[in-house]
Amino acid sequence: MSERTSESAFNKGLEAVCRKEYLEALAYFEASMQLGRSVGMEPPMKYLSYYGLCLAMVSNRINEAREICETALQAEFYNPDLYLNLGRVYLRSGDRASAFDTLVRGLHLNPRHSGLVREIRRLGIRKRPVLSFLRRDNPFNRLLGRMRSSAAMAA
């Protein structure tokens, strides 16, 4: 009986995530894990991953959320949803490079995963550095890149 209740709470949490109601979702995911534990069931990794995602979205406990999502991903490295959640946590922490790498790894598992594709599109594609022999973060590249962007907008 509690396993069904646990899954029901998890599904309600997923619905809240879709509405971007992360605090509500966090409560549902926490409840689903507690209900599962009450019948001696270890929470599935998807529960942990979504819990970590919501924790990152509603609090400043980003490192803890990242560790939770990474743990879930290590256990179920074949689940593209877990890559999406970890990628979103990386984005929340401002680590775009890790987010991009994680999302791409998830796409290797499922190239048509709508959430992964959507997040990668949101990240956008960067143009090549103006001076390719210099690093992207070189002051000359940054200045010339801004000038190129301004000129493109003016045209």
Q: What is the CATH number of the domain that holds 7?
A: 1.25.40.10
Residue 145 lies in a domain: no
Residue 140 lies in a domain: no
Read off the pTM. 0.81
Residue 11 lies in a domain: yes
Residue 131 lies in a domain: no
155 pLDDT band, cuts 50/70/90, is: low
Residue 27 lies in a domain: yes
Residue 14 has pLDDT above 90, yes or no: yes
Residue 77 lies in a domain: yes
Which comes out higher in pLDDT, residue 149 or 33? 33
Mean pLDDT of 93-122: 94
Residue 131 has pLDDT above 60, yes or no: yes
Q: Domain range for residue 99?
A: 2-124
DSSP one-letter string for the chain: -HHHHHHHHHHHHHHHHHTT-HHHHHHHHHHHHHHHHHTTPPPPHHHHHHHHHHHHHHSS-HHHHHHHHHHHHHHTTT-HHHHHHHHHHHHHHT-HHHHHHHHHHHHHH-TT-HHHHHHHHHH--PPPPSSTTS-TTSHHHHHHHHHHHHHHHH-
